[in-house]
């Protein structure tokens, strides 16, 4: 029981307590420190290895709760279970530890999966981001409205982080200087000696206490300066509906990249090599447009080293690669020239030079347009490679979003389909299914998910299908207990669990799902669906604080839930719950308990999605459009094993040319009744006007074709409902699981390495 002794000693050293006196938090900290001791040697060796490294620059790293994933990857889970059991402590007590609030949606979760997969695959990939004090926000519901509270996840500290003050950097703005202090986390791979680093920057004042100002009775000014410095890393994505919020976002983005670029340049300087060899040792992957200012920042700093514009440009070209995650115009960042000039004039000067370079070379595409700097264009102009994150998404980038760039430099564009780590999203979150798989094909699938194809013979094995059903019920029971405890709503496990969990955005069409529930509610009440199998609709999502329509949809779903759950006439057929404060740890329980995975974005809008992959790996069929990675999921598992509906990308373009939403309602009176219920008193928005806004949007524009796809959606949903809990249904479940090998993030990072990074 060496581990038990280690934990007890670390506990005594850190807080002077015996195990029986310690709180869960204190025990967690001691266990985390024991894990760090086990990886310290490999971590230092990886850091000091003389090899080319890639810095993964991202505004988000949605890492969740680390302790269980790290124990699994180190093969220490059983040892720690036994060590804690010797103290009469169940390892599951750590479930009360908060998730790290370092991200929001798929962008951040993808970054976390990639770092873990790179470490597993032995690739030197380090993450660079920000250490948000309060994350996005902690979500609660008040009368069905989203309420945002500070997510103070660091109030007890973070035992997996190490403050490295000697590597602090100074970041210069036109109006202030700020200290960037790095906190390092080890990134532990599965059964791997590679331990990479996630380096997160915390903003701090240069001097936390200015004695001269204090002596002059100017203590308030000191406090104000300190606040301006620390607010840079206070929250993820400040509300940019105000000028102050926009300025803070720009500060965040520049702060992150300036500190990171300075850090890497410092490491390179220690090698004593000429600057033109920099890309042979350090390269960067830009995870969406947020870190794009890294390009002009590196140019600026290289020119300070005495390099010419042409030399600096060539180094930047060889050093940077760009992942695009969206075709949404509002998500392709554009910064006002005046704002950049005011806040970071030296950096803007480099952007102007890049623009001049494009003009001199007679490029048909500009970086600066209408007094706005287009960050995606800046990235594409300089980066060596640009990638989309699913084949359909990459095709849209080439043919539509960036078609002018593709005409100029087609060789830059590559596709790397997203993936998820099978350690967290099957081995850890679904241990019963993982064990059944391992008992049949061995455990090689854990770091080579393609081996799941060996489960293909079990698609038609009645014994395995029966066991799969039992495991699903066990997972549903665990989720049932969590939802009852967290939300106060009881969901019978015999119900079909229909789950939609993702960021709240109009293009993801949670509204389509909500209107579908209202339709089913009306039909059940009217006696038109006597054979409808009981269904629980489960949502999890956060809306950006300033996104009015998304918040209106949350209010609508919660109002529908209140109506449905309070109606005894449908209680044996329908339940609805919107789980609060959806995060990685909640997702782990939801994904393995789902009977139907909702992936219903308007075709052509979802770049890839990773939630769809998590459900697939756990054996959940998709109800979805042919969008994002859904296309590749159906190619791998077979369209017949999923529930595909709706307009295709090509059909969307055709329909939009002559689309009249009200005409759809005239043709479908039952749908019209559903939509009218938004304003006829059936549902109350508590005087907010939100439901009227949704109604007006649907009738006037319906930009995301909710009404156009509704009939197909309901027909497909009823088909899935009819097949649920039959041998045909469970056959589809296992068919999806065994075909999911492509969607491992291990495959993704190896693709990046082969096509883009060329690390050894």
What does the pLDDT look like over 350-359, one tens digit per residue? 999 999 999 9
Task: Give the separation between CA 401 and CA 407, rounded to whole angstroms.
Answer: 12
Q: Is residue 323 flagged as an active site residue?
A: no
Ramachandran class of 646: left when φ > 0, alpha when ψ lies in -120 to 50, beta otherwise: left
Read off the pLDDT of residues 705-741 as tens digits, 9 standing for 90 and up.
Answer: 999 999 999 999 999 999 999 999 999 999 999 999 9
475-499 as b/e: b if 16+ CB within 10 A: bbeebbebbeeebebebebebbbbb
Which DSSP string do the residues of 155-173 spell out, in sequence order?
TT--TT-EE-GGG-EEEE-
Task: Give the separation between CA 216 and CA 193, rounded to whole angstroms.
Answer: 56
Q: In this structure, how many other beta carbons lie within 10 angstroms of the beta carbon of residue 600? A: 28
Task: Give the separation between CA 375 and CA 405, rounded to whole angstroms.
Answer: 14
Residues near 100 by beta carbon (within 8 Å), at least 6 away in sequence: 63, 64, 65, 66, 135, 153, 158
Catalytic residue among 53, 65, 249, 503: 503
Q: What is the pLDDT of residue 221?
A: 56
Catalytic residue among 222, 559, 610, 716: 610
Task: Give the separation between CA 125 and CA 756, rounded to whole angstroms.
Answer: 13
Q: Is residue 658 flagged as an active site residue?
A: no
Question: Taking a C-beta distance cutoff of 8 angstroms, is the pair 597, 634 a contact?
Answer: no
- Token reading at 222: 């000191």
Q: What is the pLDDT of residue 635?
A: 98
Question: Taking a C-beta distance cutoff of 8 angstroms, is the pair 337, 368 a contact?
Answer: yes
Q: Is residue 508 flagged as an active site residue?
A: yes
Which residues of the chain register pLDDT less than 70? 1, 208-223
Question: Taking a C-beta distance cutoff of 8 angstroms, is the pair 738, 456 a contact?
Answer: yes
Q: Is residue 711 flagged as an active site residue?
A: no
Catalytic residue among 476, 502, 551, 573: 502
The length of the chain, given as a count of residues: 760
Q: Average model confidence (pLDDT) for the chain?
A: 96
Q: Rounded to two decimals, what is the model's pTM? A: 0.96
Read off the pLDDT of residues 294-339 as tens digits, 9 standing for 90 and up.
Answer: 999 999 999 999 999 999 999 999 999 999 999 888 889 999 999 9
DSSP β-bridge partners for residue 420:
744
Burial class (CB in 10 A: 0-12, 13-18, 19+), 167: middle
Q: Is residue 610 flagged as an active site residue?
A: yes
Catalytic residue among 133, 199, 325, 551: 325
Q: For helices 66-73 and 24-48, give the axis angle rounded to 10 degrees.
A: 50
Catalytic residue among 249, 589, 614, 717: 614
Q: What is the pLDDT of residue 717?
A: 99
Catalytic residue among 109, 508, 563, 731: 508
The domains found in the chain, sorted by start residue, are 40-418 (3.40.50.2000), 422-442+456-748 (3.40.50.2000)
- Token reading at 615: 């459900």
- Token reading at 204: 């701090």
Is the sign of the CA dihedral 263, 266, 271, 272 positive or negative?
positive
Q: Is residue 466 flagged as an active site residue?
A: no
């Amino acid at each position: 029981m060496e581990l038990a002794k280690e934990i007890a000693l670390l506990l005594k050293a850190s807080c002077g307590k015996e195990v029986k006196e310690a709180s869960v938090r204190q025990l967690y900290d001691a266990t985390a420190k024991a894990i760090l001791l086990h990886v310290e040697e490999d971590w230092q060796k990886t850091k000091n290895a003389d090899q080319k490294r890639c810095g993964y620059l991202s505004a988000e790293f949605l890492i969740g709760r680390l302790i269980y994933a790290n124990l699994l990857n180190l093969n220490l889970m059983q040892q720690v279970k036994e060590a804690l059991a010797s103290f009469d402590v169940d390892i599951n007590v750590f479930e009360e530890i908060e998730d790290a609030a370092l991200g929001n949606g798929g962008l951040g979760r993808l970054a976390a999966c990639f770092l873990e997969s790179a470490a597993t695959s032995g690739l030197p990939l380090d993450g660079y981001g920000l250490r948000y004090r309060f994350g996005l926000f902690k979500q609660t519901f008040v009368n069905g409205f989203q309420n945002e509270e500070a997510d103070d996840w660091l109030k007890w500290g973070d035992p997996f982080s190490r403050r490295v003050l000697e590597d602090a950097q100074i970041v210069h703005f036109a109006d202030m200087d700020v200290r960037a202090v790095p906190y390092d986390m080890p990134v532990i791979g599965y059964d791997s000696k590679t331990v990479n680093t996630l380096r997160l920057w915390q903003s701090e004042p240069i001097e936390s206490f200015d004695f001269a100002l204090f002596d002059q009775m100017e203590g308030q000014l000191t406090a104000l300066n300190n606040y301006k410095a620390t607010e840079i890393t206070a929250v993820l994505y400040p509300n940019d509906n105000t000028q102050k919020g926009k300025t803070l976002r720009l500060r965040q983005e520049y702060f992150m990249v300036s500190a990171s670029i300075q850090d890497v340049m410092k490491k390179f300087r220690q090698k004593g090599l000429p600057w033109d060899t920099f890309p042979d040792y350090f390269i960067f992957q830009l995870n969406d447009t947020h870190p794009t200012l890294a390009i002009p920042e590196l140019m600026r700093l290289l020119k300070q080293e005495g390099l010419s514009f042409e030399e600096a440009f060539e180094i930047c070209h060889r050093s940077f690669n760009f992942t695009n995650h969206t075709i949404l115009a509002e998500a392709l960042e554009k910064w006002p020239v005046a704002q950049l000039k005011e806040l970071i004039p030296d950096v803007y000067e480099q952007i102007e030079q890049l623009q001049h370079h494009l003009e001199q070379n007679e490029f048909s595409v500009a970086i600066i347009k209408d007094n706005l700097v287009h960050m995606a264009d800046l990235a594409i102009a300089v980066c060596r490679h640009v990638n989309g994150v699913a084949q359909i998404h990459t095709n849209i980038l080439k043919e539509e979003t960036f078609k002018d760039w593709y005409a100029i430099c087609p060789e830059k564009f590559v596709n790397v389909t997203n993936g998820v780590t099978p350690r967290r999203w099957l081995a850890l979150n679904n241990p019963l299914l993982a064990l059944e798989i391992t008992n049949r094909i061995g455990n090689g699938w854990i770091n080579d998910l393609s081996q799941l194809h060996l489960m293909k013979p079990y698609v038609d094995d009645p014994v395995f299908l029966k066991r799969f059903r039992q495991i699903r019920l066990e997972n549903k029971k665990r989720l049932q207990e969590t939802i009852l405890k967290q939300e106060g709503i009881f969901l019978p496990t015999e119900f079909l669990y229909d789950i939609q969990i993702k960021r709240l955005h109009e293009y993801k069409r949670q509204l389509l799902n909500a209107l579908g529930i209202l339709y089913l509610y009306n039909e059940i009440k009217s006696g038109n669906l006597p054979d409808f199998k009981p269904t629980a609709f489960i949502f999890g999502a956060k809306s950006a604080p300033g996104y009015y329509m998304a918040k209106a949809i949350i209010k609508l779903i919660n109002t529908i839930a209140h109506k449905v759950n309070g109606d005894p006439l449908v209680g044996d057929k329908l339940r609805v719950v919107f789980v609060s404060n959806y995060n990685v740890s909640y997702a782990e329980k939801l994904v393995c308990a789902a009977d139907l995975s909702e992936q219903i974005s308007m075709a052509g809008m979802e770049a890839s999605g990773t939630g769809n992959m998590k459900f697939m790996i756990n054996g959940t069929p998709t109800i979805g459009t042919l969008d994002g990675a859904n296309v590749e999921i159906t190619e791998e598992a077979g369209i017949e094993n999923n529930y595909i509906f709706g307009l295709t990308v090509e059909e969307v373009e055709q329909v939009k040319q002559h689309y009249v939403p009200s005409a759809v309602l005239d043709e479908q009176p039952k749908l019209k009744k559903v939509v009218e219920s938004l304003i006829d008193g059936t549902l109350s928005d508590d005087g907010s006007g939100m439901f009227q806004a949704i109604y007006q949007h649907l009738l006037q524009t319906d930009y995301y074709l909710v009404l156009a796809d509704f009939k197909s959606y309901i027909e497909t949903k009823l088909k899935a409902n009819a097949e649920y809990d039959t041998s045909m249904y469970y056959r589809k479940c296992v068919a999806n699981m065994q075909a999911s090998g492509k969607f491992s993030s291990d495959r993704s990072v190896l693709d990046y390495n082969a096509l883009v990074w060329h690390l050894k």
